[in-house]
Amino acid sequence: MKAARKNVGSLTELRKKAEKKLMYGVTGAGTESIRPLEIEHELNVHKVELEMQNEELRLTQLQLEKSLDNYAELFQYAPVGYFILDINGIVLNLNDTASKLLGEHKNWAAGRPFSVFLHSEICQDDFYRHRNLVIDSGMPQEIEVKFIKKDSVAFPALITSTIVKDEEDHFKYFLSTVNDISERKEQEQKMKMALSKEVELNELKSRFISTASHEFRTPLATILLSTELLEKYNEPDDEKNRKKHFQKIKSAVLGLTEILMDFLSLDKFENGVITNNPEYIDLVSLTTRVIEDMNIRRQPVLYKHADKKQVVYLDPKLLRVCVTNIIGNAFKYSHADSPVEVTTALVDNDQVLISVKDHGIGIPEHDKPFIFDRFFRSKTAEAYQGTGLGLNIVQKFTSVMNGHISFTSVENEGSTFVLQFPNM
């Protein structure tokens, strides 16, 4: 009713405008000419009314066409992919962004099931459930799937779907927008890795405090006890006992030094201050000094250099840390009367090999995959002093020197560790 009254009002206004255009005087005309003039007037008014209505319709049509063009541009050039689907999930239309996401022309995609653009059967099943949920609930829904391009490259996508209905509230079509969320997923992955690393660092700090407090306590107690006993051995006949306790103190101090070196080396590596600075060094001299410094128990050592050339081009500081840890472990985990076999060699003058073999406790098979992990200690090594950092540091330093570490081991029979470096 309101619309009808509005139309009547509009026509009345239109008539008034038309009459103004056709104003003419009838004053002075004879009464016999009044009727024809009235008819002519009415016809002219209707003619002008029709012309004005046509003009309004033309302007309205132009506005509608402009609006349609604007909506078409919004649809075609939107920054997200638009897919219009029928009730069965068949693609009726798609915009340019959707075509670019697929890497295919729009004509190729139209008429195909939307599910063929999903990476796997799992994604297809997920989208089928997603589509049913949108239809049943009548509410927009979101789902993350793997979308697939023409070249079979998959990428993560966020699909948001809704139902569009006609004037009578019946299903018209299914609208799904597709967003490439590769960058977002990459940032999420980086955040997860950063969080994981932070958790790992916190765990390492806790293990460091626990390990340090335990490992420092034993040698310090040994030093304290031996110092107290030395105060009692003042007689000439006590020389043997004094030497024994001096040896214990030296051994404890060496153990503390090793622990500190492990922690300092790890800290330097984590802070990125470890760099490879090679120079020409005598491999035999360095290895011999390490054996002498480490072998406090005077354990039998069989050292052999299997080459005439002794000079190599390696970083002396990093190499010394690696060799010290490997030889130190051999001494630590084997009996005092069990020989340690150390071999150095140059292979074809471009590879440096350092092999350390012991006949000690060995490494259980189930512990081998973790032997280079930080703070890891094999069950068979728990009775021996150590931080569980030595082999981890050796692996890291060897890597910095572009080298490689490997090992073989049999429980209760011994282990052999081999360091290999390029002799640049």
C-alpha span between 99 and 273 (Å, rounded):
50
pLDDT at 25: 43
Strand intervals (E) in 117-205 = 141-148, 154-165, 171-180
Each residue's pLDDT, cut to its tens digit, for the chain (424 residues) gives 444 444 445 556 656 665 665 554 444 444 455 566 667 777 777 777 787 778 787 777 777 766 655 555 566 667 788 898 998 889 998 888 888 888 888 888 888 999 889 988 999 999 999 989 998 888 999 999 998 887 778 889 999 999 988 888 888 889 998 989 888 888 888 888 888 877 876 776 666 666 666 566 666 777 777 777 777 777 777 777 777 777 777 766 766 676 666 666 666 666 666 788 899 999 999 999 989 887 777 889 999 998 888 999 999 888 988 998 899 899 889 988 899 999 999 988 789 999 999 999 999 999 999 999 877 878 778 777 767 788 988 998 899 899 999 999 999 999 999 999 998 7
Q: Which residue has the tokens 């619309």?
A: 3
- Closest among 358, 361, 386 to 255, alpha carbons compared: 386
**Residue type, position 146, single letter:** K
Residues contacting residue 328 through CB under 8 Å, at least 6 positions apart: 258, 294, 390
For residue 29, the model assigns a pLDDT of 45
Alpha helices in 271-355 (DSSP H): 283-294, 316-332
CA 369 and chain centroid, separation:
24
pLDDT given at position 23: 56
pTM above 0.75, yes or no: no
- The torsion defined by the Cα of 73, 76, 77 and 82, in degrees rounded to 10, comes to 130
* Structure confidence at residue 311 (pLDDT): 93
- Determine which helix (DSSP H) or strand (DSSP E) holds 126, and give its type and residue range: helix 121-137
CB atoms closer than 10 angstroms to residue 5: 9
29-61: b or e for each residue (b if 16 or more CB lie within 10 Å)? eeeeeeeeeeeeeeeebeebbeeeeeeeeeeee
Asked if residue 186 lies in contact with residue 161, where contact means CB atoms within 8 angstroms, the answer is no
Instruction: Name the DSSP letter for residue 274.
Output: -
303 C-beta neighbours (distance < 10 Å), count: 15
- The confidence score (pLDDT) of residue 367 equals 92
Question: Residues near 131 by Cβ (< 8 Å), separated by ≥ 6?
Answer: 85, 89, 161, 174
Question: What is the enclosing helix (H) or strand (E) of 99?
Answer: helix 96-102
> Domains along the chain?
2-75 (no CATH), 77-180 (3.30.450.20), 275-424 (3.30.565.10)
pLDDT of residue 418: 97
